[in-house]
């Protein structure tokens, strides 16, 4: 039943954009109809997800004319687990889009059409059992997400980011073609089936692992394959960024997990490699995020960080599983999977909140906002919940998944045998600690500079609260963050079922989450009562200017900027991300105009890939002489080729 | 049990500040403020009125509340009587670390809420130094996990004679590293000078410039509780147990006072470090903890 429901839901999502696309231009009812259809489709899909997470495995097969291919989908707990955020985010994103990208704005039908195709394709990726069907759905997602990212193609930055995304997507697809070919070679079938025992130790097994890591890693935004991610996520409309960051990059994670399950018990070195990529992505992802001035780029880099945490959890699971520590391995898998859900919830919440702030102020620059909490209190509250959650702080959901990975890594250090994979395990705890502390710095900076203090520009001062549909879209995400944070033991059975499939092992986390749940509930209750008490006591207190050593006329420009706030930490990471500074060389005696500008380019993209690509392009310039564009020259080429072939065949 | 331990922490925490100040006064040849000055300050502030900055939102008030609630919650995870702590479960070490992070999030946000450049500067320093102090704390916990085969703070820090005999080098390193963390997390010399009068050089004090009345009392109390919790964390490791709850509690509190005196001596003996030097000291603490991990792994 779950397979049928998810298939129907995917089909409904794909066609949901038709009314908006074909209806009269600017028609509000057509757009509202599209959104309603998409939300209904998502609800059907969520029903299927719930059945898939609670019941047994279901499948649906239909013949397909392409050789080797079959319309074969199969819903087990792992697929259902990854499909859940697809439907949740598709629905809330569409609802947000009604206010954020209304019917009378640019290309309203176009956005809704490709958004629906994207959502439907995503659902199929998570449940496809046939590799050809998987690749087709993968490509549908890649192309449709390219079209929504490039919506505002008048903007040159958006065009560049979208092209980069398209290229990166197709490099990933290329790796997946090779992956599917090798997998077919090993199993002899185009279906996703277990590899023969011992494949992990063979060259083919290693090839499968590396191809999966590169192909899926590009999509997931794992460092150093993340180059496309910041630009594409920043350039897309905000509700699209939410779904891109919340679920599109999760297809990469799903792919890695799914391929690992095919190995049965993957060798320890797979896990060691995952740990290294995970730790590097999490620390450097958040370091780059700290250096951003653009709110959406900042959030995009945080996706790299969170994918790093997820992959670290997976690595922990693989290593511990291979070393005969199933209880610890289960913690790793469960933590990683729960973080998939958590990241979808709080990252979507943050992108929607950021979208509202950008909508209200007309800028993405953090230092041109400020004081928005007074002007848009609902949005500020939603963003604050997302910020606390993404920092992994109790009592919200981010803490629960990080806690599982943490105690897994702590427990593993009690029984380490030696070897480099075990050393990588020891680094997990301090690496997560640094990541967490940096994320906290980054979100205090973002929340503080955008929502607190005084407005830094007149646009920020005139900001207005987001529309009802935009605020309504944030509500389910806030509820989700609180629900998983306060009642982790209640949702744990769903995570356990998915982790059982992912790690091919039994285990439980409900019992260990019970005290965390009690603690979170009591802490929240005490905090709520105490804050309400203090508020009641000082609510009527007189209001005066902020203390500035007796200065009576402070201006908003005297506030600490977000760049100053992050400066110390950015300087600390200058070895990995050298900042670029434009400052006046020497100032005259009485300087009238002076400007200072700093930004931190992406090290991999701007300092390695683009210069390398430029060099390749220059080298290939040589071939331009061959292409003269004159018919006679081409005739000479043809004649010369014929002569050469004649001589060659005569021998 | 919970109520008794809470009462103990609430009643005892401000005394530690008095001990530190008295030590500094004696070394400097002054008589110093009364031992109970912190209690007087808090009581007086609770009765005082409040002035709020017109820039602030409710976040400004959440900061002080979270600081004190979190400090008390964390203190309940400490085995202050030598028995299992009132809150003890597998993995509570990480809850212990992360509730303090929650407090940091809201105290620094409250500072930014005022829109003051000074307070923004203090908040920036606070979050920056925490990034370096946190790995030192956690690496120490990793080493203790390996030693105690437990993930609960009670077992983790209740190291007895057996551990001190077999792994004394690692334990000394952890205590040293955590003492540096204690000074950094509680804004003591050499990281911050609680007595300074120049806003530009402060960290913790500058973040609370705009708080007044009951909210400021909570800030002071929260800081006292946090100092007590970090001091007790080390005191529990280094004091012996006799098996009687009252006697063990007395020993641990005596240990806390001794560490308070040591903090006073450190503050008398050295000046605040230049801000650029602070990360170096914190990285040293992390490395000391890392060495402790290496020692217990062998």
B138-168 pLDDT tens trace = 999 999 998 888 899 999 998 877 888 888 9
Contact A527 B69 (CB under 8 A): yes
Residue A307 — very low, low, confident or very high, per pLDDT cuts 50/70/90?
very high
Task: Answer for the pair B149, B159: CB distance below 8 angstroms, yes or no.
Answer: no
CB proximity list for B23: less than 8 A, separation 6 or greater: B260, B261, B263, B264, B265, B268
Q: Residue range A98-125: average pLDDT?
A: 91
How far is A178 from chain B, CA to nearest CA, in Å? Answer: 41
pLDDT of residue A650: 85
Residue B69 has pLDDT above 90, yes or no: yes
- Contact between A392 and A402 under an 8 Å Cβ cutoff? The reply is yes
| Percent share of chain B, pLDDT over 90 | 73
pLDDT over 80 (residue A482): yes
Over pLDDT 70: what percentage of chain B?
100
Task: Tell me the mean pLDDT in the region B237-244.
Answer: 89
A405 has pLDDT over 80: yes
Residues A466/A378, Cβ–Cβ less than 8 Å: yes
Residue A525, pLDDT above cutoff 80: yes
A355 reaches B (C-beta below 8 A): no
3-state secondary structure chain B: CHHHHHHHHHHHHHHHHHHHHHHHHHHHCCCCCCCCHHHHHHHHHHHCCCCEECCCCCHHHHHHHHHHHHHHHHHCCCCCCCCCCCCCCCCHHHHHHHHHHHHHHHHHHHHHHCCCHHHHHHHHHHHHHHHHHHHHHHHHHHHHHHHHCCCCHHHHHCCCHHHHHHCHHHHHHHHHHHHHHHHHHCCCCCCCCCCCCCHHHCCHHHHCCCCCHHHHHHHHHHHHHHHHHHHHHHHHHHCCCCCCHHHHHHHHHHHHHHHHHHHHHHHHHCCCCCHHHHHHHHHHHHHHHHHHHHHHHC
Cβ neighbours of B151 in A, within 8 Å: 407, 410-411
CA distance B77 to chain A (A): 11
Q: Which pLDDT tens digit goes with each residue over A65-78?
A: 888 888 999 999 99
Instruction: Give pLDDT, residue B189.
Output: 86
Output the pLDDT for position A407. 93
> What pLDDT shows up at residue A10?
95
Count CA atoms within 13 Å of residue B194 on its CB side. 19
Return the pLDDT at B262. Answer: 96
Is A419 an 8 Å CB contact of chain B? Answer: no
Mean pLDDT of A443-454: 95
Name the residue in chain B with its Cα closest to that of A538: B50
| Interface predicted TM-score (ipTM) of this complex, two decimals | 0.96
- Look over chain B and give the mean of its residue pLDDT values, rounded to a whole number: 92
Which of A388, A356, A91, A35 lies closest to A243, judged by CA? Answer: A91
Report pLDDT for A289.
94
Span A119-136, mean pLDDT? 94
Domain of B122 in residue numbering reads as 2-297
What is the number of domains present in chain B? 1
Please report which confidence band the pLDDT of residue B260 belongs to, taking 50, 70 and 90 as the band edges: very high
pLDDT given for residue A487 in this prediction: 96
A444 reaches B (C-beta below 8 A): yes
pLDDT higher than 90, residue A553: no
* Mean pLDDT in residue range A501-507: 85
Residue B242 · residue B248 · CB < 8 Å: yes
When CB atoms are compared, the residue of B55, B99, B145 closest to A394 is: B99
Q: In Å, how far from its chain's centre is CA B149?
A: 25
pLDDT category of residue A413 using cuts at 50, 70 and 90: confident
Q: Closest by alpha carbon to B260, among B77, B5, B22? A: B22
A74: three-class secondary structure by DSSP: strand
pLDDT of A129: 93
Choice between B47 and A552, residue whose per-residue pLDDT is larger: B47
Residue of A nearest to B139 (CA): A430
**Count of pairs with CB atoms under 8 A, one residue in A, one in B:** 232
CA distance A269 to A423: 12
Q: Is the pLDDT of residue A117 over 90?
A: yes
- What average pLDDT score do residues A426-454 get? 94
pLDDT in tens, A217-258: 999 999 889 999 999 999 899 999 999 999 999 999 999 999
Dihedral of the alpha carbons of A487, A489, A494, A498, in degrees to the nearest 10: 120
pLDDT of amino acid A590: 81
Separation of alpha carbons B287 and B290, rounded Å: 5
- Hey, are the CB atoms on B117 and A441 less than 8 Å from each other? no
Residue A625 pLDDT > 90, yes or no?
Answer: no
B123/A544 Cβ within 8 A: no
Q: CB distance A448–B109 less than 8 Å?
A: yes
Indicate the residue of B95, B105, B123 with minimum beta-carbon distance to A519: B95
A504 touches chain B (CB under 8 A): no
Q: What is the pLDDT at residue A424?
A: 84
Which comes out higher in pLDDT, residue A430 or B82? A430
pLDDT above 80: residue A586:
no
What would the pLDDT profile of B180-233 be if each residue is shown by its tens digit? 999 999 988 888 887 777 777 788 888 888 999 999 999 999 999 999 999 999
Mutation target among B52, B69, B109, B131 for the A interface, most CBs of A within 10 A: B131
Residues 6+ apart with CB under 8 A from A16: A34, A35, A37, A38, A41, A112, A116, A119
What is the pLDDT, as a whole number, of residue A475? 96
pLDDT confidence bin for A557, thresholds 50/70/90? confident
Report the alpha-carbon distance of residue B21 to residue B27 in Å, rounded. 10
CA distance A67 to chain B (A): 53
pLDDT at A393 (0 to 100): 95
Q: Which of B105, B174, B292 to mutate to test the interface with A (most CBs of A within 10 A)?
A: B105
Rounded percentage of chain A residues whose pLDDT exceeds 90: 70
Can you tell me the mean pLDDT for A323-330? 90
A-chain CB neighbours of B58 within 8 Å are 531, 535
The answer, yes or no, to whether residue B98 has pLDDT greater than 80, is: yes
Using a CB-CB cut-off of 8 Å, the residues of chain A touching B99 are 394, 523
């Amino acid at each position: 039943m779950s397979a049928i429901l998810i298939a129907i839901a995917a089909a409904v999502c794909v066609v949901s954009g038709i009314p908006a696309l074909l209806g009269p231009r600017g028609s509000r009812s057509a757009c509202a109809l599209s959104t309603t259809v998409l939300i209904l489709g998502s609800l059907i899909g969520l029903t299927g997800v719930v059945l898939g997470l609670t019941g047994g495995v279901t499948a649906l097969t239909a013949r397909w004319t392409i050789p080797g291919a079959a319309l074969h989908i199969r819903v087990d707990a792992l697929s259902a687990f990854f499909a859940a955020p697809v439907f949740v985010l598709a629905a809330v994103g569409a609802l947000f889009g009604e206010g954020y990208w209304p019917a009378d704005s640019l290309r309203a039908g176009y956005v809704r059409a490709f958004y629906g195709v994207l959502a439907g394709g995503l659902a199929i990726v998570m449940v496809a059992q046939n590799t050809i069907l998987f690749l087709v759905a993968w490509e549908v997602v890649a192309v449709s997400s390219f079209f929504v990212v490039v919506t505002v193609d008048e903007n040159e930055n958006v065009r560049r980011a979208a092209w980069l995304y398209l290229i990166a997507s197709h490099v990933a697809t290329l790796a997946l073609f090779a992956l599917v070919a090798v997998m077919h070679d090993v199993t002899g079938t185009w279906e996703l089936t277990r590899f023969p025992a011992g494949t992990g130790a063979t060259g083919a097994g290693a090839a499968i692992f590396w191809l999966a890591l590169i192909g899926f890693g590009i999509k997931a935004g794992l460092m150093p394959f993340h180059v496309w991610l910041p630009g594409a996520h920043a350039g897309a409309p905000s509700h699209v960024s939410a779904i891109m960051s919340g679920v599109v990059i999760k297809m990469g994670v799903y792919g890695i997990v799914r391929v690992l399950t095919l190995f049965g018990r993957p060798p320890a070195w797979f896990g060691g490699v995952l740990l290294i990529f995970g730790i590097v992505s999490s620390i450097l992802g958040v370091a780059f995020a700290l250096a951003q001035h653009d709110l959406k780029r900042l959030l995009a880099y945080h996706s790299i960080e969170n994918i790093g945490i997820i992959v670290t959890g997976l690595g922990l699971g693989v290593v511990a599983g291979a070393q005969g520590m199933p209880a610890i391995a289960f913690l790793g898998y469960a933590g990683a999977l729960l973080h998939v859900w958590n990241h979808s919830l709080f990252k979507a919440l943050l992108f929607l909140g950021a979208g509202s702030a950008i909508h209200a102020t007309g800028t993405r620059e953090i230092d041109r906002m400020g004081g928005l909490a007074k002007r848009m209190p609902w949005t500020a509250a939603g963003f604050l919940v997302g910020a606390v959650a993404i920092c992994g702080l109790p009592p919200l959901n981010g803490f629960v998944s990080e806690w599982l990975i943490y105690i897994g890594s702590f427990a593993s250090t009690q029984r380490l045998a030696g070897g480099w994979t075990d050393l990588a395990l020891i680094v997990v705890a301090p690496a997560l600690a640094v990541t967490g502390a940096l994320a906290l710095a980054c979100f205090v900076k973002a929340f503080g500079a955008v929502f607190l203090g005084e407005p830094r520009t007149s646009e920020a001062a005139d900001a207005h609260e987001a529309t009802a549909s935009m605020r309504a879209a944030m509500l389910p995400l806030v509820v989700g963050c609180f629900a998983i944070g306060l009642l982790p033991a209640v949702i744990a059975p769903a995570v356990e079922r998915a982790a059982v499939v992912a790690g091919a092992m039994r285990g439980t986390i409900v019992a260990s989450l019970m005290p965390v749940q009690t603690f979170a509930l009591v802490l929240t209750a005490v905090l709520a009562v105490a804050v309400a008490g203090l508020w009641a006591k000082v609510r009527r207190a007189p209001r005066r200017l902020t203390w500035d050593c007796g200065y009576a006329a402070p201006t908003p420009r005297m506030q600490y900027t977000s760049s100053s706030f992050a400066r110390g930490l950015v300087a600390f990471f200058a070895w990995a991300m050298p900042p670029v500074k434009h400052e006046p060389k020497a100032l005259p005696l009485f300087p009238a105009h002076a400007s200072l500008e700093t930004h931190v380019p992406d090290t991999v993209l701007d300092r390695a890939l683009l210069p390398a690509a430029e060099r390749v392009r220059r080298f290939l310039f040589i071939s331009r002489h061959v292409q003269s564009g004159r018919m006679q020259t081409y005739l000479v080429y043809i004649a010369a080729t014929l002569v050469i072939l004649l001589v060659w065949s005569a021998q | 049990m919970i109520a008794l331990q809470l009462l103990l922490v609430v009643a005892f925490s401000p005394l530690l500040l008095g001990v530190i100040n008295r030590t500094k006064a004696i070394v400097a040849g002054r008589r110093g403020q009364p031992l109970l000055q912190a209690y007087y300050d808090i009581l007086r502030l609770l009765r005082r009125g409040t002035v709020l900055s017109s820039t602030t939102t409710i976040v400004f008030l959440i900061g002080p509340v979270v600081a004190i609630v979190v400090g008390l919650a964390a203190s309940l995870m400490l085995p202050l009587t030598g028995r299992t702590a009132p809150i003890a479960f597998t993995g509570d070490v990480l809850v212990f670390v992360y509730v303090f992070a929650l407090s940091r999030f809201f105290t620094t946000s409250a500072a930014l809420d005022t829109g003051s450049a000074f307070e923004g500067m203090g908040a920036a320093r606070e979050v920056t130094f925490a990034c370096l102090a946190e790995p030192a704390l956690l690496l120490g916990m990793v080493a203790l996990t390996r030693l105690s085969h437990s993930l609960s703070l009670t077992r983790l820090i209740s190291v007895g004679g057996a551990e001190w005999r077999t792994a004394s080098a690692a334990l000394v390193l952890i205590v040293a590293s955590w003492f540096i963390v204690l000074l950094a997390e509680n804004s003591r010399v050499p990281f911050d000078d609680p007595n300074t009068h120049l806003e530009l050089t402060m960290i913790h004090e500058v973040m609370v410039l705009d708080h007044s009345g009951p909210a400021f009392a909570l800030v002071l109390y929260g800081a006292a509780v946090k100092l007590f919790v970090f001091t007790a964390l080390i005191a529990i490791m280094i004091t012996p147990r006799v098996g009687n709850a009252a006697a063990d509690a007395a020993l641990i509190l005596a240990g806390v006072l001794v560490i308070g005196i040591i903090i006073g001596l450190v503050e008398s003996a050295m000046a605040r470090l230049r801000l650029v030097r602070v990360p170096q000291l914190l990285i040293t603490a992390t490395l000391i903890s890392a060495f402790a991990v290496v020692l217990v792994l062998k």
